[in-house]
Structures are given as structure tokens and as C-alpha cells.
Amino acid sequence: MNILVTGGLGYIGSHTCIKLIEAGYTPIILDNLYNSKKSVLNRIATITGKMPIFYQGDIRDTVYLTTLFSQHPIQAVIHFAGLKAVGESVKNPLDYYEVNVQGSIALAQIMRQHQVKTIIFSSSATVYGEKNPVPYFEHYPTGNITNPYGWSKFMVEQCLIDMQKADPEWSVVLLRYFNPVGAHPSGLIGEDPQGIPNNLMPYISQVAIGKREYVSVFGDDYPTKDGTGVRDYVHVEDLALGHVAALKKHDQAGVHIYNLGNGVAKSVLDVIQAYHQACQRVIPYKIEARRPGDLPAFWADVTKAKQELNWQAHHTLSDMVQDSWNWQQKNPHGYPDEE
């Protein structure tokens, strides 16, 4: 079965492509290389023994998409492609709406033209907004979001839900991620942020390797066990397997929504301490002022994914930091431009 994977050379996309190949699927990768490297292809091939089909293109380019769909019988699409930095979205909101929202609409239109009516969308826990109590359940209302990145995910979800209502033959799977971390155990693929990392784990990794001086901890006066923000961290390997499990929903029309997380809350200081234990190096950190819009704590209820997809996360925080450190040691400067 051919699966189009948009953004398939990115952090989560590349791990998912490996799991797809191992499960017997044929991923066809579309990536514009804005936040990824072509050298990832060879590493996927090294791990799986198969070189994925790759197209360098943009989801907003409907002419290019039409050509791609015409050349391959595609059965389903896993849609990762998009911009993903919260802070950047506040500075450049129109870019996020153009790429994430308009790009997703362009993709769905071409899918409809070619009668491909199964899409698995890479969404985010940010759609739950500020008002809901924890843990987050899939039936909670969405909205009350604090940044354009989160609103763009919310908007794409709504577009896909409305599309499915208008044409009930569609199968729309919305996967709401919590905090993906870790790397492939081989150390060949992992998270390679361009510029200053936006997420905690890669920032800690760069401090541990000596690229950065210290970790900024934003707030130590939250109503949590140690005063720092609490989040739900999920290993990227578990997350990737969640997409393979979701593909089994492809023959069931409707809208299917799942949280993909560990269902366990860990604080910023928990993660720093776990990383210290993995690398046996001091991780300097400084307490900074809270960031506007940051929530004290959120984590997932993952009962629905376990019951309906037979999926649950198995990796511990220790596994996550060990695999992250393994990747960082083997790739201190991230991916090479070519390989």
C-alpha cells in the first residue's frame, strides 16, 4: 500500500516512515526541505534496507501535487508538513496560516480530485487551549488557544471535519501529539532543530554536548510539585507506531480523534535530572520569568487510543533521554547537508 507522507524527512515523519516500511507499507515522501535534510533518506535506507521514494516539493504547489498523485496509486496520506514553532508563529502568523492552513486545504483538494479519501493529520495538544482541566480527553472542546501555531492546527482540524461531514466517504484521523522526544535507538535519526531549539529536550541535549551554556527554565512558581511546568513526554518511536496503528482506521469512514502521549506528567526539572543521569554530565540551568501563554501543566488521557487502536506508549523517560543523548553524541552538529 502506497502512503504519501508529507514532511516525511522531518523529525516525526522520518521515524514514521521507518515504522511504515517495517510494517510492509510503501511510504512516498514529499518534503520541501525547509526544516529537514535530504541526508535523512540514506539513514532511513540504512535502518530499513529500503530507499523510500522521495519528491522535493511543497504542499501548496497544486500542480506538483497533481503530478505526484498521477504517477502513483496512493491509498492514504499522513500529513506532517507544516511550520511548528510557537514563538515564530507569534512573530510571523501569516506564514503559519499560509503554510499550515492553506497548504492543508490545497493537499485535501488534490486528494479529493484523485479519490484518495483517507488522511491522518499531525495535530497537537495545543488545540485544547487554556480552559480545559487535566488530563485532556478527546471529547473536550477545543479553542481558547494562545498562539497562531495552535490556531493553525485547530483550523486544519475544523476544515477536515467539515470536509468529512460534506462527503461521509472520507476517513479523517486527527492525532493530537503531546511532547515528542527521543530518537531512533540506532542514533542515526533524531531531532535536528535548525537554529535555537524551541523544545526542551533538544535544548538540554545541546547544553549537555557543550553547544549551549545553560538551560532556561521558564518559571519555578507554578502550582506543581517543584514549581516548574509539567508536560506529557512521549518517545518519538511510540508516536511513530501510533501512525501505523491509525492506518488500520483507513477503511472506516468518519472522524477519528486520538491523543498520543504517555499519560504521565513530568516536570522540567524531572527531565533535566533524567538527562543528567543518562549523560553523567552536569546540566546547568537558570530560572527565568514565566513565558506568556505557558500553562502550568497538561497531559493526556490515552484510554481511547489504547482501546480503539490497540496503541500505547511503552518507553520511559529514561529511555527517552538515553536515546536523545545517543543521537546527540553521534550527531553533535545534526544531519550533514549531504551524505
| pLDDT tens-place string over residues 106-148 | 999 999 999 999 999 999 999 999 899 999 999 999 999 989 9
Q: Report the catalytic residues.
A: 149
pLDDT score, position 214: 97
pLDDT score, position 264: 96
Q: From start to end of 45-117, where are the E strands?
A: 53-56, 76-79
Place of cell 492553506: 102
Torsion of CA 21, 23, 24, 28, to 10 degrees: -40
pLDDT tens figures, 140-161: 999 999 899 999 999 999 999 9
Q: What is the 3-state secondary structure (H, E, C) of 239-283?
A: HHHHHHHHHCCCCCCEEEEEEECCCCCEEHHHHHHHHHHHHCCCC
Sign of CA dihedral 314, 316, 317, 320: negative
pLDDT tens figures, 288-325: 999 887 899 999 999 999 999 999 999 999 999 999 99
- Average pLDDT of the chain? 96
Residue 202 has pLDDT above 80, yes or no: yes
pLDDT tens figures, 240-282: 999 999 998 888 999 999 999 999 999 999 999 999 999 999 9
pLDDT tens figures, 176-188: 999 999 999 999 9
pLDDT score, position 3: 98
144: left (phi over 0), alpha (psi -120 to 50) or beta: left
pLDDT score, position 180: 97
> What is the pLDDT averaged over residues 25-42?
96
Residue 99 has pLDDT above 90, yes or no: yes
Q: What is the CA radius of gyration of the chain?
A: 19
Q: What is the pTM of this model?
A: 0.97
Residue 236 has pLDDT above 90, yes or no: yes
pLDDT score, position 339: 61
Cis peptide bond upstream of 135, omega within 30: yes
